[in-house]
Amino acid sequence: MPALRHHLVPVAALLLLVGVLGAPAAGPSLFDQNFTATDIGGSPRQLSDYRGKVLLVVNVASKCGFTDSNYQGLQQLYSKYREQGLEVLAFPCNQFGQQEPGSNAEIAQFAKSQYGASFPLFAKVDVNGAGAAPLFSWLKANTLGEDAKRDLGWNFVKFLLDRNGRPFKRYAWDFAPALEADVQRLLAEPASEESEL
List residues bridging with 169 in a β-sheet. Answer: 160
Of the candidates 83, 56, 59, 17, the residue with the CA atom closest to the CA atom of residue 161: 56
Residue 108: which residues within 8 A CB-CB, separation 6 or more?
40, 41, 121
- Summarised one tens digit per residue, pLDDT across range 9-40 is 444 443 333 333 333 336 799 999 999 999 99
Q: Write down the number of H helices and E strands in the chain.
A: 5, 6
- Summarised one tens digit per residue, pLDDT across range 99-118 is 999 999 999 999 999 999 99
> Average pLDDT of the chain?
86
- Summarised one tens digit per residue, pLDDT across range 58-98 is 999 999 999 999 999 999 999 999 999 999 999 999 999 99
> Residue 25 has what pLDDT?
39
pLDDT at 43 over 70: yes
> Residue 148 has what pLDDT?
63
> Residue 141 has what pLDDT?
92
Q: How many CB atoms lie within 10 A of CB 50?
A: 20
- Summarised one tens digit per residue, pLDDT across range 120-161 is 999 999 999 999 999 999 999 998 766 667 899 999 999 999
Q: How far from chain centre, in Å, is Cα 133?
A: 15
pLDDT at 167 over 50: yes
Residues forming the active site = 64
Q: Domains, the chain, ranges and CATH? A: 27-188 (3.40.30.10)
> Residue 147 has what pLDDT?
64
Of the candidates 155, 153, 185, the residue with the CA atom closest to the CA atom of residue 169: 185
This prediction has a pTM of 0.84
List residues bridging with 161 in a β-sheet. Answer: 55, 167
